[in-house]
Structure 1
């Protein structure tokens, strides 16, 4: 597969992933708005923070390192050994689920059984759902490596819709089940994922399409672990790379879910406050999850396939380096522009958004301040996602190991900062601690990218500099919308609120027009990639 083909496939994959994440966040958004009216905020805190943290920790620690290692090999490799390696995620998941479930049951403070009953069985069922999802991990890696771009979006969309429908149905019909409602829906979600991936490969293997692309397996039995003739069970070089990524992923998980670990293990917030924080956090992270995360995941595959890991730039093919530099610069410009727009307009519309979404439960107290801080944090998330996806794709195993030491220091500092800032500032302290740590991670990635391209004529970090015209438009929009909020929102009636929204819409339109006129290279990149995706689907 040529570099251009890889870029086209990665862009198509990013588009589908954006669609998937949009669907997921919209469904979660509507489901949270619905549950706010049927269950207590304490139960929301237990489900969305405590139990979801157990599930994501088991899944992440069991599979993330395997995914990164197995998708980062550019040369031809033995898929039999890779499948054997990937099946190790299941016993690893069993160990993590047993260990962490024991911690959740016996070491952490349990919620009041009168307010949140059935906590013990819920812990076991969420751990079981994590193990169930790991059963399709070899199929997921195969699909990603061979650019089956539609499979992921279809499988996860069906699973999400099924989970949301079952949650609403059970909550309306048998609300007394409490945590069992969410446990049943979670098991249905992971079961649907396994079923969709299995059904797809049952249909695909042995088909004419598989034969045309010389797919490495011919029947579903080939995807089970087995021993080859006279060859090692696994690729030990890849296994060592997996171990390096495992140490990194362990630390990355602490950074990614750090505030939930602090809330869970240090009890700095009660379950009700945890529920409110999680809802505001999900609302603030919608764009980060359904735009920035798919871009990071998809273009990590692109950079890993186009550039040789651990090789200096002068040892790479000139055309590959040129394409990677251009894509990196445009991606940085894209996420920078989106992040600045979210920061500017999110500041003035946080209060109104929370009031519409959850009423006074969210718009009173620290909710608006928390969401405003998160809008600024989104800008850092945007930049970090792209810079780290490039650095992780080109780092050598030794550089990954050295970066693990820095991640360890960041993890410790983040936990300490989160603990103390939360005691003094409440839930806003979580966001500030995240901002400080994200800034340090960005700084490291920027230095790495700068030195990586230092001996070449490409300067992809120019993508971090928006045009002066765009900065002026954003500055004027910020001043106008802040004034509009102070005069029109949010103590008045709906007419004044609509006027405030109209002012923001006019300012946003002005910013978009400025982008079209001043950021022509970025616009050309987006249109070119969209046209490539469309022509690829039509063909």
Structure 2
């Protein structure tokens, strides 16, 4: 547990720095770049880039591919560039044939995004090494570098060249992916930390084809890849609809993407790092710890995730209007952005709980159960949570209860009271434009957040252990 908390602290700090920088640059870009260009890049082209990388990353980071020899593990993670290249060819063909907007794009712009994904896939094996062997700081700051440079290069090219915005985004994407991959190579070349003592030299980080692949690991990878395809279709389903149909204009797509980025800022800051580190922790812990230890950690993390999701929901709704106004100005406020962000705030709570249960379920399920689990993804996310919870209960012999996940009564009362006060604050101060009203509304929310945070830590035993005794691990090991 202390190792997991240390990994989360690295990830949170790195994500916080990268996301705030990216957030600030996006505020400027939304005001100076044409909304049609933003719609094309952030929805259609970035969807292709994200699809390729998700199908590569998700199986490599979550499938149980470590058992066996270290060389066979290295061989299988270096399938990443191969998978990315195949997915890139398929995606370009699909986007060219089915997306009307893509046909009108310059080939340089169209090919830049899958090329960036392929370049980035050469850094994926090093990201997997970092997660698997607890190189938490390196992994966290490499992700921060990628997030930051994707927008920093846009600003540099915007002010330093006379290129059109589409070309600026395309070149910036390739440059950021190249820098990310070179950062991994340089780090592993210059210094090999204690966590990687099983690797003899720099050459051992690369594949040796003559030793082949472990069949069981390859089967687990293929099963997880099929699951990842279904998950990606469910997660970014709206993006595919917007890309391959003309349901929304490019301007409305830009609005949707901006709200999605704003609403998911908290998810990317805290929930995504939490899921990635928990997946690696559960995978390693399944072989190292007893069931009681895992059960306590699983339930405690779920409890914290539920509290976190509810705090975001209760505090997010009253401040949706202010956040949308600051982030996107009239482009978002005049196109339904406020209502969209309010809905997204409620969705975050479910995402927080569902993500952790899925991480644990992916570790304990066999290939057949993973395939069955993936089928449910196409029906409803709630069914996914129920199935993941069922697998966890089976593993722990029904000795876990959903009641352990929910916050205490005092936390519920504090959140509801804060929500009501913030609702009144919104009615008096948040609905009117003006710096004084906005600052008053923010100050009220800030004070309430501090009160709720202090009260929650004092009334939640799990949080007390994490805050006041972060290195005390005896609780999780006692039988």
Alignment TM class, shorter chain as reference: over 0.9
2:371 counterpart of 1:401: yes
Which residue in 1 is equivalent to 2:5?
11
After superposition, residues 82-481 of structure 1 pair within 5 angstroms as: 82-110=73-101, 118-174=105-161, 176-205=163-192, 215-228=197-210, 233-308=212-287, 320-407=290-377, 409-410=378-379, 437-456=380-399, 459=400, 461-481=402-422
Alignment-derived partner of residue 429 in structure 1: none
Residue 536 of structure 1 aligns with which residue? none
Q: How many angstroms apart in 2 are the aligned matches of 1:365 and 1:143? A: 42
TM-score, normalised to structure 2's length?
Answer: 0.92
Counterpart in 2 of 1:518?
Answer: 459
Q: Secondary structure of 1:36's match? A: helix
Give the drift of 1:493.
3.0
Match of 2:34 in 1: 40
Describe the shift of the 1:287–1:463 C-alpha distance in structure 2 as closer, same or farther (beyond 3 A): farther
C-alpha separation in 2, matches of 1:276 and 1:201: 40
Residues 359/405 of structure 1: CA separation in 2 closer, same or farther (3 Å cut): closer
1:23 CA drift (Å): 2.2
For residues 27-62 of structure 1, the C-alpha deviation after alignment (integer angstroms, 9 at most, x for no partner) is 221121111122111111111111111111112223
Residues of 2 paired with 1:52 and 1:259: CA distance?
Answer: 13
After superposition, the C-alpha distances for 1:366-391 in whole angstroms (9 at most, x for unaligned) are 11100000000010111111111111
2:62–2:280 contact (8 Å) kept in structure 1: no
Displacement of 1:242 in angstroms is 0.8
Distance 2:172 2:281 in 1: 34
Give 4+ residue runs of structure 1 displaced > 6 Å after superposition: none
For the residues of structure 2 that align with 1:173 and 1:108, how far apart are their CA atoms? 32
More divergent stretch after superposition (288-297 vs 398-407): 398-407
Provide TM-score, normalisation by structure 1: 0.82
- 1:270-298 alpha-carbon deviations (Å, 9 max, x no partner): 11101111111101111111101111110
- C-alpha contact (below 8 Å) 2:19/2:147 kept by paired residues: no
* Deviates most, 365-374 or 504-513: 504-513
When structure 1 is superposed on structure 2, of 375-384 and 389-398 the one drifting more is: 389-398
Structure 1 residues 358 and 238 mapped into 2: Cα distance closer, same or farther (>3 Å)?
A: same
Note if contact 2:142-2:183 (Cα within 8 Å) is conserved in structure 1. Answer: yes
* C-alpha contact 1:11 1:298 (8 A) present in aligned 2: no
Closer, same or farther in 2 for the Cα pair 1:306/1:153, shift >3 Å? Answer: closer
Q: Distance in 1 between matches of 2:370 and 2:271?
A: 23
Question: Alpha-carbon deviation of 1:214?
Answer: 7.2
Q: How many angstroms does 1:234 deviate by?
A: 0.6
Q: Are the structure 2 counterparts of residues 70 and 37 from structure 1 closer, same or farther at C-alpha, using a change threshold of 3 Å?
A: same
Range with bigger deviation, 127-136 or 507-516: 507-516
The CA deviation at 1:531 is: 7.9
User: 1-side partners of 2:161 and 2:32: how far apart?
Assistant: 11
CA contact (8 A) 2:376 2:383 kept: no
C-alpha distance in structure 1 between counterparts of 2:281 and 2:402, whole Å: 18
Deviations 1:85-144 (A, max 9, x none): 22222222212111211222232111696xxxx543211011111111111222222222
Aligned residue pairs total 473
Offset, 1:241: 0.9
The aligned counterpart of 1:27 is: 21
Deviations 1:144-173, CA, capped at 9 Å, x for gaps:
221111212233333444433321121123
Question: Which secondary structure does the structure 1 equivalent of 2:291 belong to?
Answer: helix
Distance in 2 (alpha carbons) for counterparts of 1:85 and 1:176: 40
> Which segments of 5 or more consecutive residues in structure 1 lack a partner in the other structure?
1-6, 309-316, 411-436, 533-539
* 1:365 alignment partner, SS class: coil
